[in-house]
């Protein structure tokens, strides 16, 4: 059995109901009373003051927010264009976790510089994080994943990765892509890095990744849908 899950906090996105559902369970963790014809709505994680950090708990600790062998996490501004069963069958043949390869960078240090320069989090927090990784011997150009879609088989090794990633995330920057690759390296797990470019959809209002993901721009401070 497969669970598709997402998490939206701080009114960052609307729920995307247009999904190719397949036979999976669909669970959304929200901090606002949205209605949905696709998702089972559950209360969002709320132990942090920062809603961004709360949104990451189901994303990173997928094994604690599902009860199925497989999960497909997608960001709240994304839609699946293929059934979840097809993704699991295609991308978890020789791996237990699959994530998109970053389309522009291949290094957490380059990602950290980009995030710090753009003030996507406190630059001092980001600099301290990558300085810690550098002192630990983590090398440059070891790859970078884009964590908006994560396909998992919840094996003990994947659960170990989830827990290691969560520990790094809670300690460091809210930009989870920086800590993901370090956690992957520390646990020693092989990740299927899906290599596919983004391209504009025919409607020119959204973009497509590979043949199974559609993404629309994030919407901040939505009105509540009752």
pLDDT tens digits, residue range 104-129?
999 999 999 999 999 999 999 999 99
Contact 157, 187 (CB under 8 A): yes
Q: What percent of the chain shows pLDDT beyond 90?
A: 83
Using a 10 angstrom Cβ sphere, with 0-12 exposed, 13-18 middle and 19 or more buried, the burial of residue 98 is: buried
pLDDT at 10: 84
Mean pLDDT of 185-208: 91
Q: What is the pairing mode between strands 2-8 and 70-74?
A: parallel
Predicted local distance difference test score (pLDDT) of residue 34? 85
Which tokens go with 200?
């504009």
Q: Is the pLDDT confidence value at 98 over 50?
A: yes
105: number of Cβ within 10 Å: 17
The structural domains of the chain, ordered by start, are 2-102+145-215 (3.90.550.10)
Q: Return the structure tokens found at 13.
A: 């996105």
- Please state at what angle helix 51-60 crosses helix 156-171, rounded to 10 degrees: 170
Look at residue 133 in the predicted model and tell me its pLDDT.
98
Model confidence, pTM: 0.94
Please tell me what DSSP assigns to residue 137.
Answer: T
Helix, strand, coil fractions of the chain, as percent rounded to 5 = 30, 25, 45
Instruction: Please give the Cα distance from 120 to 115 (Å, whole number).
Output: 5
pLDDT tens track for 1-37: 999 999 999 876 778 999 999 999 999 999 988 889 9
Distance in angstroms (rounded) separating the CA atoms of residues 179 and 170: 10
Q: Model confidence over 54-77: pLDDT tens digits? A: 999 999 999 999 999 999 999 999
**pLDDT score for 219:** 65
List, for residues 197-220, the tens digit of each pLDDT value. Answer: 889 888 877 899 989 999 987 765
């Amino acid at each position: 059995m497969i669970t598709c899950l997402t998490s939206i906090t701080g009114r960052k996105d609307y729920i995307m109901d247009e999904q190719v559902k397949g036979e999976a369970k669909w669970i959304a963790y929200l901090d606002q009373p949205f209605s949905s014809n696709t998702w089972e709505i559950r209360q969002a994680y709320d132990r942090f003051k920062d809603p961004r950090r709360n949104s990451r708990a189901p994303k990173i600790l997928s094994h604690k927010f599902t009860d199925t062998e497989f999960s497909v996490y997608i960001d709240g501004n994304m839609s699946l264009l293929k059934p979840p069963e097809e993704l699991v069958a295609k991308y978890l043949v020789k791996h237990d976790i699959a994530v998109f390869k970053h389309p522009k960078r291949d290094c957490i240090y380059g990602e950290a510089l980009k995030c710090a320069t753009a003030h996507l989090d406190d630059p001092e927090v980001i600099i301290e994080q990558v300085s810690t990784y550098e002192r630990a011997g983590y090398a440059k150009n070891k790859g970078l994943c884009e964590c908006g879609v994560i396909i998992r088989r919840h094996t003990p090794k994947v659960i170990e990765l989830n827990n290691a990633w969560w520990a790094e995330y809670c300690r460091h920057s809210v930009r989870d892509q920086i800590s993901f690759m370090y956690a992957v390296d520390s646990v020693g797990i092989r990740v299927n890095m899906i290599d596919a470019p983004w391209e504009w959809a025919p409607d020119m209002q959204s973009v497509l990744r590979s043949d199974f993901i559609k993404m629309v721009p994030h919407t901040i401070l939505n009105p509540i849908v009752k």
